Structure formats: structure tokens, C-alpha cells
Amino acid sequence: MTTREQREAALKEAGYNTFLLRSRDVYIDLLTDSGTSAMSDRQWAGLMLGDEAYAGSENFYHLEEAVRRFYGYRHVIPTHQGRGAEHILSRILIRPGDVVPGNMYFTTTRLHQELAGATFTDVIIDEAHDPASEHPFKGDVDLEKLERVLKENPGRVPYVSVAATVNMAGGQPISLANLREVRALASRYGTRVILDATRVAENAWFIQQREPGQQGRPVADIVRELCSLTDGCTMSAKKDPLANIGGFLAVNDDEIAEQARNLVVVYEGLHTYGGMAGRDMEAVAIGIEESVQDDHIRARVGQVLYLGEKLRRWGIPIVVPVGGHGVFLDAKRFLPHVPQEHYPAQALAAALYLDSGVRAMERGIVSAGRDPQTGEERKPRLELVRLTIPRRVYTQAHMDVTAESVYCVFEEREKIRGLRMVFEPKFLRFFQARFEPIGGRLM
């Protein structure tokens, strides 16, 4: 625990960016659910079985077996984490001038698509951009928007990029029915569907809870069907699969797999470890199996819902329905007096840290970055602060402390001022940008 004076100093030192705080200065860490989960006793035991052979490690075969069994893809190429898989896939499938449609952008995914020469086009349903819309599947693709992109760019759409769940929309799921339609449309236009499978088990849970005809069906079953509708996936094993590090690319096509095995040795490591230690592959393999258990996923998403419902009852503006991995505060309604150019979500995350030492992160104009063509700041409709819940780490009491701190900040919201960016990195600027409060004081 820290005093307010200590937090004030730490925040200034960190340039009002929660990514630049030291973890020892943080009380409850809701920055991200990435690699922050607690591994199980079985995963820790798995670490002891690490086969650290350079080539052909036993743990790679366990990982391959787990991916085949739970996701159903034939070829598995391990990578150091999700973005390593995105990099390799983008280099293989994208040619300069291509267009990649997707259900809302994700920061690293879009950057790798752009660096390979593609333009990303958002084809998510309009409701996803409205934090107050109660649509049960805000991750759904707008099929008319998708068809327009496919029609207008013949031969220029290497794949449709589908995320389950959609992180930037607030952890919102895509429905099975919609993904089936996306699959059919992509096949009709002769293109592929690639899944961002990072939170596919959480997505499957929402399908089980909300989609007609899916009640009572095991999450593991729904996960398999979601994957079966796609040609491959990129995976960050730091999310759903409950590991602290790791990822993979998985595909069915032999030719793409061959190219990926060839590129992975350039950028990640040999095709049977891809930047991971043998023991880490074992932890991922075991985590995959644990991640699709109904009891686990019910408890995991249930904790997120607990925090979300509490804030909602208190009249705090959040994205609804509450998503799978975090509660997203709507900074536009929270701080209506701070214009988007003054980074309201960034300022709100800083104010929350100042109040209690709870660390959240910005998901708004800072994360959206600049348009590579015009150099202008992209202004997303969603200006959010993400309270991300690590898996199997915190208790209900931590959720209560967090909710109470958000409430305190809400009471004092009129005092919070905007920020000015004083250092801007070229890529993924939200990680390392620095700010100063306009008028010298945050609040």
C-alpha cells in the first residue's frame, strides 16, 4: 500500500501513463489480463517436466496435441506470444495494397497488417461503437459492410480477421450464427477467415449463456465449433490459456504452415519452440485444457460481471453488456468536460491510480494512434478505461475495493483535468507515451 503523496510522485515520474508505473507502487493491478493469471498446481508441476532440447522437445508435442484436441487445427507453429504469430501470418498472407476487414481493430494485430502493406477496415456492427447498446453480441460482423469490402476489392482481401471476443469493444462476443455467415460469405468470395483466438473460451461462454439453442452445451464443444468455422488462428497464450508467456499460430493449410515454419526460424526460434522454453510450452498445453472447463470460465467471467454490476447499480457509466475480461468505464460520459484531444480516458486511469493505487489502462484515442496515411490522430467513438481482471488472482474483496475507488473518483469527477502528450513513440504509442496535466495538476 502507498500514500497519496507517494502515488502523486509515482504518477508524475511515470508521465501519467499507467504502463510506466513500477508494479511495486501498484496496489490492485488491473492493467491487463495478459500473462498476469495465476498458474494452477498442474501447470506449475508441468514446468518441472520441461524438456529443454533445442529440437523436438516433448513439450512441443504436448502443445500440438492440445491445440489439435481443443481447437482442431492441424498445424501448430509456436511463437513467443500473440504478436509473434500475427507478424508471421501477416507476412505470409498480405501483399502491399491488400485490404483486411475485421470486427474492430486490435492494436498489435492491425499494426502487423499495416506493416505488411494492408489497410484494415472495420466491419463490426454499429452497436459495437455504442457503449450503451445492450446488444448481446456486439462482436458480430455487419455482413453488408463485409460484403461491400469483398465486392469492392476482388482478389485483394487475403482474409477476414475475426476476433473472439472483441477486446477494443469491451470484451464483446461474436455469435456462432454470425461467424457461420461470415464463413459462408468468405468462401463465396474465395477468401479465408482467420480467428484471433485470444479469448475464444470466454466468447464460447457468452454463446452458451445467450445464443438460442446453445444452452447447456459444454464450452469446450462451442470452442471447437468456433475454430472449425475458420482457416486458422493467432493465439496469445497469455490470455485464455492461463500461461505467463507464449503463443502460437495454427492453420489447416499445408502450404501456409510450411511457409510459417520457414519464417518462424528467422524471427522467433526453431519451429518446435518458437521463442518459448520447453517448460512454458508444457504450461500452455495444460492451461489450454483448463481454460475450456465450464466451472473455470463461469467463475472467471462471473467475477468480471460482479464488478460490472456493482458499478452499474451505482450509476457509473460503463460499457454494457459487461464483457468477458474486464469492465470498461465510459470516459466520455464520466468526464464530459474533458475534450477527446485532452485524452479523457488517460486522465481517468491516472486519477483512479491516484485515488487508491488501482492500476487500469486507457483504451481510447491514445491506443488508436495515428492514421498511417494522413498522420492525423484517429478519434474512436469509444473512449474507455479498462479495468482488466487477471484470471484466478483476485478475490471478491479486491473487486469491492476497486468499485469503491471508482465511486470516489466519480464523486470528484468535475475536478479532473485533461492531459497534454509530451512524448509520443512511433509505434503502439499507448505503451510508452508521456503526458502532463493541463494546468499543472491532474485534480
Q: Which residues are catalytic?
A: 54, 106-107, 196, 239, 363, 430
Separation CA 59–CA 110 (nearest Å): 31
Smallest gap from Cβ 85 to ligand PLP, in A, equals: 8
Out of 64, 122, 196, 240, the only residue in the binding site for ligand PLP (CB under 6 A) is 196
Helical (H) or strand (E) element with 108: helix 107-115
Q: How far is the CB of 197 from ligand PLP (least distance, A)?
A: 9
Q: What angle do CA 360, 369, 116 make, to 5 degrees?
A: 120
108 lies in the binding site for ligand PLP (CB under 6 A): yes
**Of positions 139, 170, 247, 344, contacts ligand PLP by CB under 6 A:** 247
In whole angstroms, what is the distance from residue 274 CA to residue 251 CA?
15
Segment interacting with ligand PLP (CB under 6 A) among 80-88, 91-99, 339-347, 358-366: 80-88
Q: Which is nearer to ligand PLP, 238 or 300 (CB)?
A: 238
Which of 109, 113 has the CB closer to ligand PLP?
109
CA distance 203 to 191: 24
* Shortest Å distance, C-beta 106 to ligand PLP: 4
Cell numbers at 163, concatenated: 476476433
Whose CA is closest to 303, among 240, 382, 394? 394
317: region left, alpha or beta (phi > 0 left; psi from -120 to 50 alpha): beta
**Rounded least distance, CB 359 to ligand PLP, Å:** 17
Asked if 291 touches ligand PLP (CB under 6 A), the answer is no
Name residues contacting ligand PLP, limited to 166-195 (CB under 6 A): 167
H or E segment to which residue 146 belongs: helix 143-152
- Asked if omega into 321 is within 30° of 0 (cis), the reply is yes
Q: Which of 57, 90, 103, 109 binds ligand PLP (CB under 6 A)?
A: 109
Q: Compute the C-alpha angle 297/250/389, nearest 5°.
A: 30
Using the contact rule CB under 6 A, the part of the chain among 79-87, 180-188, 303-311, 425-433 near ligand PLP is: 79-87
* C-alpha to C-alpha distance for 443 and 440, rounded to whole angstroms: 9
Please identify, among the stretches 61-69, 135-143, 206-214, 236-244, the one whose residues bind ligand PLP according to the rule CB under 6 A. Answer: 236-244
Whole-number Å distance between alpha carbons of 236 and 32: 13
CB of 199 to ligand PLP, least distance (A): 7
By the rule CB under 6 A, 90 interacts with ligand PLP: no
Taking CB under 6 A as the rule, which mask of x and - marks residues 18-37 in contact with ligand PLP? ----------------x---
Give the nearer residue to ligand PLP in terms of CB position, either 247 or 390.
Answer: 247
- The secondary structure of 300-319 as a DSSP string is HHHHHHHHHHHHHHTT--B-
Q: Is 113 in the site for ligand PLP (CB under 6 A)?
A: no
Q: Does 198 participate in binding ligand PLP (rule CB under 6 A)?
A: yes
Q: Which residues pair with 362 in a beta bridge?
A: 385
User: Residues in contact with ligand PLP, total (CB under 6 A)?
Assistant: 15
Measured CA to CA in angstroms, residue 137 lies from 195, 271, 324 at distances of: 16, 36, 12
Q: Which of 43, 236, 259, 388: binder of ligand PLP (CB under 6 A)?
A: 236
Interface positions with ligand PLP (CB under 6 A) = 34, 81-83, 106, 108-109, 163, 167, 196, 198, 236, 238-239, 247
